Amino acid sequence: MRLQGKVALITGGASGMGRVASLLFAAEGADVVLTDLNDELGETTASEITEAGGRSLYVHADVSRDADAEAMVGAAVDRFGKLSILYNNAGVMLPADGSVHTTDESVWDLTLAVNVKGVAFGCKYGVPAMLASGGGSIINVASFVAWLGAATSQTAYTASKGAVLAMTREIAVEYARKGIRCNALCPGPIETPLLMQLLSDEEKRQRRFVHIPMGRLGHAEELAKAALFLGSDDSSYMTGTSLIVDGGITAAYVTPED
């Protein structure tokens, strides 16, 4: 098992891509601490891991709050003795996020609080725990839109993911010789309930699909396996980089001929 003996903290781990990653990391041998705002789904996911023979803990945490980030890392160390992997997966993409001249201040505030401060606070407390544990791997979820403009306007989200990418590089450089790796995972459109809700408008849906060379959305399992690679020792010489899992969008951004 690729994560045997490791302790993983996964934010937003109760549903969607986070839930799939929580189950996969546990199946690969990790002790998993997952956080979320939905306590019912969080407890259910943790129970599934335990029932399958793994070890897991659910912690309620709003990653945009400094105190919650401190508490979730503390809970992981208290329960399992160390922190090996920090998967900063929690994020938001709000329906009201649009063009720069139409997006309301409240959308900016929430998007940056969760997507940027949430990653920063996770690292703020995760890094000392990893230093005390002898090192570890940080995985920050950015997006393919951190590399190019989105087909549909989502200015606050795009800006937040660009910030995550820049922060990832800086953390990687600072702690590279202290045993901590930090990489960004940049997914393309992944088939989750949140995205399907946002793509309920047929015009927006078609504008997305026309730009994906593979012609389909990604699956949560595909992204979780990429995160598994970054969290495991298989990626031991990777830090400060981006793993783009986008069906070819950033390679072409055109519709291939059938």
Is residue 177 packed enough to be buried (19+ CB in 10 Å), middle (13-18) or exposed (0-12)? exposed
State residue 31's pLDDT score: 98
pTM > 0.85:
yes
Is residue 240 packed enough to be buried (19+ CB in 10 Å), middle (13-18) or exposed (0-12)? middle
Residues designated catalytic: 157
State residue 1's pLDDT score: 92
Tokens of 118: 């949430």
Please say whether the beta carbons of 16 and 39 come within 8 A. Answer: no
Residues 6 or more apart in contact with residue 202 via CB below 8 angstroms: none
Pick the CATH number of 7-190+219-243 from 3.90.1150.10, 3.40.50.720, 3.30.70.260, 1.20.120.530: 3.40.50.720
- Cross-strand partners of 111: none
Question: Which residue stretches of 28-117 are H helix?
Answer: 39-51, 66-80, 105-112
First CA to last CA distance, the chain: 40
Report the C-alpha gap between 72 and 113 in whole angstroms: 17
Per-residue pLDDT of the chain (258 residues; tens, 9 = 90+): 999 999 999 999 999 999 999 999 999 999 999 999 999 999 999 999 999 999 999 999 999 999 999 999 999 999 999 999 999 999 999 999 999 999 999 999 999 999 999 999 999 999 999 999 999 999 999 999 999 888 788 999 999 999 999 999 999 999 999 999 999 999 998 987 666 665 666 666 666 677 788 888 899 999 999 999 999 999 999 999 999 999 999 998 555 454
Amino acid of residue 119: V
Q: Which of 246, 234, 169, 235 is nearest to 208 (CA)?
A: 246
